[in-house]
Chain A
């Protein structure tokens, strides 16, 4: 699959934003490390919403006909893309209610209920983002439950690293935030490792034989029938060399998981402080971006069987 940068930016930024918002609610509810004060909570919440909004806006850049984008909310019953849009739109006002009830000292029940609903919606939205890809039977590397799991784990991992940065800057007791980040980042790393292991095996997939129905002999493509590229070759023809993919997987693990982990140790040892926490947050986001690029680059659509691939 052709990796579109607008979609990569969208999924990474909105994932981190939704993750940050949900974890911010947890930090507020349990008063982790002493708890953020009002202004800090509102600030953090607005930053999370900013990430989500920028992500959603950038996702419209890959539309060829954005004037009809408003119609994308209309097929909630069948389309995960539509569901994601609807959930994200419901998230926004609820998140504002939560931030408003913090700012204007609303009763505790209102603050808790709106916060809980927002956190749950954030989780559902990131899950829907993953399901957009996981529901496609045409791409073996995506059609697995590991995909929404990875989207959730990486979104919450980058969100937790951003929250840790907030806790360090706000001079809270960082221990609970460190524990949370360490836990979520390790879960994300393990899930990603399982995913990379899983997609290595060819699995039961369509082959050039089932694609043509000529199943009793070896088939090879003689001619694609087009002079130059087509929409299909541009969209689905992208291939990444196995060696390069392997290298990028190492980058994902070093930058996305190991480096933040190391920085967590530094923050824990009271050495790095804000600098280490910033490096951890940025490395987490950069790792997630590389992971997302690779997620697209490694996906092999079955239409390639009509362009010469023997299997996908």
Chain B
């Protein structure tokens, strides 16, 4: 199995609900808490496994806002695991999830240097590195109904911009979607082979923004009539 996420950049509305749901679940999850520093102070900061950035693509009038959620990509060739000197970082053979053993981590930050996606954040309160677990304490929970055995971020997304599944299975929903929509990994040139894939925006007609051509006499009368009716 190779578990991971598909993120649909076409429908993500940038509401940050996935980040909130992630924080809510994982704060009390296996590697919680996710410490906050000065949450109500002047300089609020803290540990998050999921962060959403907002980009603008192209220039006016063809510009478009792209909301960009990012969490751990659970890379096939995860350098964060190989550089770890203590063996705290590991990639599970059975499902490809990259995890950090909190009892072994010494907080040297080296794995975060090796990660190009900024997926790893040091928790100052425990002194250990923390990262997305793909809700490993949820997706295998036999006490939950089958449809709820998914990462929190996926369950909560109101736009259904996130999908969870097995990329090793060519017929899984995630594999099919990636095939059909041309899903792609981020920074493929670094050869980390990230598992998570992003779906690009669909092509849509450009909304014309040029000034409308001036109509003739007929158009003027029509507009005048319209204004009268509106009053």
Residue-wise interface mask of B (74-104) relative to A, using a CB-CB cutoff of 8 A (1 in contact, 0 not): 0000010111111110000000000000011
- B223 on the interface (CB 8 Å rule)? no
Chain A interface helix/strand/loop/mixed: mixed
Complexed CA–CA distance, A138 and B112 (Å): 10
Cross-interface CB contact of B86 among A74, A132, A220, A235, cutoff 8 Å: A74
Which of A71, A136, A213, A221 has most B Cβ within 10 Å?
A213
- B66 close to A214 (CB less than 8 A): yes
Q: Which residues of B contact A (CB under 8 A)?
A: 16, 19, 43-48, 51-59, 62, 65-66, 68, 70, 79, 81-88, 103-110, 112-118, 121-122, 124, 126-128, 184-192, 198, 200
Q: How far is the CB of B56 from chain A (nearest CB, A)?
A: 5
* Contacting residues of chain A (232-249) with chain B, CB-CB under 8 angstroms: 232, 235-236
- B44 close to A227 (CB less than 8 A): yes
- A66 on the interface (CB 8 Å rule)? yes
Q: How far is the CB of B106 from chain A (nearest CB, A)?
A: 4
Q: How many residues of A contact B (CB 8 A)?
A: 55
26 pairs, CB–CB < 8 Å, chain A vs chain B = A63-B106, A64-B107, A64-B109, A64-B127, A68-B86, A71-B87, A71-B104, A72-B108, A74-B85, A79-B82, A81-B108, A85-B85, A135-B83, A136-B79, A137-B192, A212-B186, A213-B186, A220-B56, A221-B55, A222-B65, A231-B122, A232-B121, A235-B113, A302-B187, A303-B115, A306-B117
Q: Enumerate chain B residues within 8 angstroms of A222, measured Cβ to Cβ.
A: 54-56, 65
Q: How far is the CB of A142 from chain B (nearest CB, A)?
A: 9
Q: What are the 9 A-B residue pairs with the smallest beta carbon separation, nearest first?
A: A64-B107, A65-B127, A64-B127, A217-B58, A82-B85, A68-B106, A71-B86, A65-B107, A303-B118
Q: How far is the CB of B159 from chain A (nearest CB, A)?
A: 16
CB nearest neighbor in B for A78: B82
Query: With A81-B110, A219-B57 given, is the CB distance from A206 to B104 under 8 Å?
Result: no
Query: With A210-B189, A213-B184, A306-B53 given, is the CB distance from A71 to B88 under 8 Å?
Result: yes
Given contacts A75-B86, A138-B190, A236-B118, 6 further A-B contacts (CB under 8 A): A66-B106, A68-B106, A136-B113, A137-B114, A206-B187, A235-B109
Which of B81, B185, B187 has most A Cβ within 10 Å?
B187
Q: How many A-B residue pairs have CB under 8 A?
A: 182
Q: Enumerate chain A residues within 8 angstroms of B121, measured Cβ to Cβ.
A: 230-232
CB nearest neighbor in A for B38: A228
CB nearest neighbor in B for A303: B118
Cross-interface CB contact of A230 among B45, B79, B86, cutoff 8 Å: B45
- A282 on the interface (CB 8 Å rule)? no
* Contacting residues of chain A (195-214) with chain B, CB-CB under 8 angstroms: 204, 206, 210-214
Q: Enumerate chain B residues within 8 angstroms of A228, measured Cβ to Cβ.
A: 43-45
